[in-house]
Homo-oligomer: A and B are copies of this chain.
C-alpha cells in the first residue's frame, strides 16, 4: 500500500498525513498504531512514518501510556486560526440577532478550494439542531450556502465541484442553481446532502461586490415550512447585507499582491 509519490510531487503523502490527523476529531480521541493502520488502510510502516513526522511537529503526541493523541503543536495553529478568523464583534452581533429573530442556528461559511468551511456559528435555542463543525471542510456541491459561495466561480470550478458530487449532480444543474441564487439574492436547500436538513443562505460581499462568505440558517426541514421561509429569507438577506457593510475578512496584509493569484491545481 506504500505509494510511489514521485508522480504527484508528494501531494498524496500530504493528503494522507492530513487524513490521519483528521481522525483525531475530539480531545478524547486516542489511537494505537494498529487502530490507525486499520482506520486508514495504510501499511504499518507508512503509519509509523507519518505519525513520527507529525509528532516531530508536535501535531500528534505519543502519550506515555502508548497511545497516539492530539499534539501540543495544535496550540500554535489554535492561536493563529482564532486570530486570523475571529469575527468583528459587530458581525457576531448580527449573527446573534439573526438567531434571536428566527430561533434557528446561524452559520457563516467561506469557500476553500472545492469545499466550504464554517468559520462561525451561533446555536439556535431549540433542542433539535443541525450540527456543523467549525473549521471542517464540507462539500460545496450541496446546501444553500454553496450556491452563494459559487457565484463568482468560473465553469472550471463548477466542473470540479460537480465531479465530487453524486452522479446526478451535473455542472449544468449546479450552474443553474448558482445562477438562480445570484438572481434571487438567496438560496434555499432541502435535504440535498443530509435528509431532513434545510438551509437558507445569502451573500456577504466585500467592498468590490465579490462574495466573501455566505451567512446561512440551518435546521430540520420540518421547521423550514412554507409559512416560515419568507421571514427566514428576509432575515438572512438583511444579515448578509449588514455583514457586508461591516466588512469581513479584509486583505490581511493590506498591500496588493505583486504576482498573479495562485492557480488551483488539481489534486
Contacts and interface: CB of A to CB of B under 8 A. Distances in A.
Interface in A32-85: 32-35, 45-46, 48-59, 61-85
B74 A113 contact: no
Given A84-B27, A135-B72, A252-B28, A10 B16 contact: yes
A265 interface: yes
A251 interface: yes
Please tell me how many copies of the chain the complex holds: 2
Given A64-B210, A68-B262, A137-B57, A6 B9 contact: no
Contacts of A210: 64
Contacts of A5: 5-6, 9-10, 13
A84 B24 CA distance: 10
Nearest to A69: B252
Nearest to A71: B112
Contact of A67 (B63, B133, B252): B252
A81 B24 CA distance: 10
Contact of A65 (B10, B27, B28, B251): B251
A135 B11 CA distance: 25
Interface residues of A, number: 100
A252 B63 contact: yes
A72 B133 contact: no
Interface in A238-267: 249, 251-253, 256-267
Given A52-B113, A74-B81, A81-B70, A261 B62 contact: yes
Contacts of A59: 18
A56 B262 contact: no
Contacts of A56: 112-115, 137, 267
A3 B8 CA distance: 10
Most chain B C-beta atoms within 10 Å of own C-beta, residue among A48, A81, A136: A81
Contacts of A33: 259-262
Contact of A48 (B21, B63, B114, B262): B262
A20 to B, nearest CB: 10
Question: 6 closest pairs, A vs B, by CB?
Answer: A10-B13, A76-B135, A74-B81, A75-B135, A27-B83, A30-B253
